[in-house]
Chain A
C-alpha cells in the first residue's frame, strides 16, 4: 500500500534532549511538510521541502531542524531549543504536476511527543 509512515507513534523527550521524528513516503511525491498540532490551534507549518536537499522554514521553525537527503524521507528533529515541544506532529506530502504542486495533501497518522 502506498502512503506516509510516521514513527514512532508516541515519543517522550527528556530535558535538554534532541529527538528525531521519522517520516517516510512511498507515493513518489515531490513535496513534504511538517505540521505541529496543538489543541484549539489547528495545524501550524514547521518546515517544508519541495525537492531533495532543499527545504524552507514555515511559520514556527525555531527549535526544529529537518533534512531531505532522499525524496522519500523527511525527518524532523526537535532540539533542546524548543521549550514547549509537547504536541501532535503531522507529516504530509503532495505531488508536483505541470510545475504546480497538487493541492491535495496526504497525511501520515502522526507522532505524539511529550516531555518527561
Chain B
C-alpha cells in the first residue's frame, strides 16, 4: 500500500518569497506522485505529476517538484510566491499499474502575506 506524509499543515510566506511544501512518500512499488491544489469550496486541480520520467517535474503556475528516491521525497517549490497561490495543496501517490488506488496526504494550507 502507498501513503504520503505532508510536513506542516500550514505554511506562510511573503509575496515574492520562495515556496517550499514538503511531501514524503511510502510505497512498495515504484510510485507515481502528484501535487494537487484546492481553492476554497472547490474540487482539486492537478498541478504536476511524476511518472518515472524526469525527476524534476515542472507544473502549472510556475510550480515544480523534484523526485528524490534516496530521500523518498517529492517536495513542491516555487521561486516567487504570488497572492493567488494561497490555497491548500495535496500530495498524492499511486502504485503501478493499478492507478485507481491514489492516496492523498493531509494537505498543507499556504498563506501568502503582502
Contact = CB atoms under 8 A, between A and B. Distances in A.
A binds B: yes
Interface of A: 4, 31, 33, 35, 40-45, 48, 50, 59, 90, 92, 94, 100-105, 107-110
Given A4-B43, A40-B9, A110-B41, A105 B102 contact: yes
B43 A107 contact: yes
A56 to B, nearest CB: 8
Contacts of A107: 43-45
Contact of A42 (B46, B49, B101, B104): B104
Interface string B73-100: 0000000000000000010001001111
A103 B95 CA distance: 10
Nearest to A35: B104
29 contacts: A4-B43, A31-B100, A33-B100, A40-B9, A40-B107, A42-B90, A45-B101, A50-B100, A59-B103, A90-B43, A90-B44, A100-B97, A101-B98, A101-B99, A102-B99, A103-B32, A103-B94, A103-B99, A103-B102, A104-B46, A105-B36, A105-B44, A105-B46, A105-B102, A107-B43, A107-B45, A109-B41, A109-B43, A110-B43
Contact of B106 (A40, A45, A92, A103): A40
B14 to A, nearest CB: 25
Contacts of B42: 109-110
Contacts, number: 59
B-side interface size class = 20 to 34
B21 to A, nearest CB: 13
Contacts of B107: 40, 42
Interface of B: 6, 9, 32, 34, 36, 41-46, 49, 51, 90, 94, 97-107
Nearest to B1: A59
B79 to A, nearest CB: 25
Contacts of A102: 99
Contacts of B45: 107
Given A42-B105, A103-B32, A107-B44, A94 B49 contact: no
